[in-house]
A and B are shown apart, each in its own frame.
Chain A
């Protein structure tokens, strides 16, 4: 499980996502668990990327515990955020959703 780029932090051994400890630009090539990956999108500081292929419906594990479920398949190195991960408890509200709500209600 070694040879992962030092700019990606694994918080627990069983995690299937890694946290970027600095901004990683799109196109950057880096190692994740011994495999070379080219980032399709920029990963801002603190954002997550998939540590391996993750199937739709699978639990996303960070800090060693589930933080929600994958809403679609993800490739290794793909950014994991509101577009492909949802809470198992409560909906996540974003500014886009609020903007859509207010434009609809006017």
Chain B
């Protein structure tokens, strides 16, 4: 039986980390120095670099600072940025988590802020250790999936294996979230056919069409040169491979970053901004998507890779599934699962899918992932604009 950290909203965390969040790039150094003083302890750096306000970024920070894996938060402000630090601190405090705001301009500058930040973190870690632990079941998990550093093996080994793990999670009643509508271009009608309710189907198509328009305006999709080097030729080909991460379950609904899945089942996360194209690329790298999956409450993220990504994340563990047996041999210590065995005839898709599912449960029970052992804490958050999802997008609870 897993043990979760019980939070005031009833959700349970599989980790109990303290986040140090800078509220503008100008406060980044102070925040990072505080985090570095706690190397090896569960103190993670997150932040928003912009000075101008943005509803999306504010909502993301609210969700991330009250993520079930987070037990407390230190907010680091320069003092003059637009981020509404008071409102964020109030929101976190209302959940019962310890929270403190350091304003560098009011606090005597860099060194005094770092010192005070460290003192507070020390104290807060002690408080957080008292968080109640209670039994937790697989059905209470929220799991995200993303692919990065994809090559032509991703779509035939790691992605469909992650899809099998998703099917097993959904069978247990857990929520599973797949994303990147820009990597689903060309698959929209196949996906729409899997909508759990008829009114959801056109929403799925509209969501992918929006992504296609967004990328067409920018003139550049999610296709990276490394993808071509790895044997992928077109966006559609990459999409079909990426799509197999979703497994076979019916699609229950569409989420936007920060929406919590209202029931178990499979959800599509729409990460492409609404409205006119304003702030550039939808996701400037994989870590932006991991942050968005976390903002939807993902306890764990499955990361499939053919070329060999090494990233992890702040806040919640990333399980890396290597698609390519040659890559696995080069980067074994960064990987949790070798799905490349499927190509070499040493394992079936079903076996690797089951292995991923079991790794998720062990991770939830406390076993560190490769990226956690290596200390990865990648995090990025930039500007976007979103409108709320329409009524057809979510199941009635």
Contact = CB atoms under 8 A, between A and B. Distances in A.
Interface of A: 9, 11, 19, 21-22, 44-48, 62-63, 65-68, 80-82, 85-95, 97-98
A6 to B, nearest CB: 9
B236 interface: yes
Contact of A63 (B155, B224, B343): B155
B236 A86 contact: no
B240 interface: yes
B240 A19 contact: no
A18 to B, nearest CB: 11
Nearest to B218: A90
A9 B241 CA distance: 14
B215 A22 contact: no
A80 B236 contact: no
B220 interface: yes
Residue in A46, A63, A98 whose Cβ sees the most chain B Cβ within 10 Å: A46
A85 B234 CA distance: 8
A82 B233 contact: yes
Nearest to B212: A89
A91 B225 contact: no
Contact of B187 (A9, A21, A65, A80): A65
Given A62-B237, A90-B215, A94-B229, 9 more contacts: A21-B343, A47-B231, A65-B187, A65-B236, A66-B186, A82-B228, A88-B186, A90-B220, A92-B228
B216 A48 contact: no
18 contacts: A21-B343, A44-B231, A45-B153, A48-B152, A48-B231, A65-B190, A66-B186, A67-B233, A81-B231, A82-B228, A82-B233, A85-B234, A87-B233, A90-B215, A92-B233, A92-B235, A97-B225, A98-B225
B42 interface: no
A68 B234 contact: yes
Contact of A48 (B151, B229, B233, B324): B233
B50 interface: no
A97 B228 CA distance: 12
B79 interface: no
A90 B225 CA distance: 14
Contacts of A48: 152, 231, 233
Interface residues of B, number: 33
A16 B332 CA distance: 34
Contact of B234 (A47, A87, A95, A97): A87
A66 B186 CA distance: 8
For chain A, what secondary structure do more than half of its interface residues adopt (helix, strand, loop), or is it mixed? loop
A90 B185 contact: yes
A57 B175 CA distance: 42
Nearest to A83: B233
A80 B237 CA distance: 12
B173 interface: no
B49 interface: no
A89 B236 contact: yes
A68 B233 contact: yes
B306 interface: yes
A93 B233 contact: no
A63 B186 CA distance: 12
B236 A81 contact: no
Contacts of A19: 152, 156
B56 interface: no
A22 B344 CA distance: 8
B240 A93 contact: no
Nearest to A69: B234
Nearest to B229: A95
Contacts of B224: 93
B326 interface: yes
B221 A89 contact: yes
B230 interface: yes
B236 A87 contact: yes
B152 A86 contact: no
Interface in B216-251: 216, 219-221, 223-225, 228-231, 233-237, 240-241
B220 A93 contact: yes
A81 to B, nearest CB: 5
Contacts of B324: 45-46
Interface string B138-173: 000000000000011101100000000000000000
Given A47-B231, A87-B234, A93 B223 contact: yes
A44 to B, nearest CB: 6
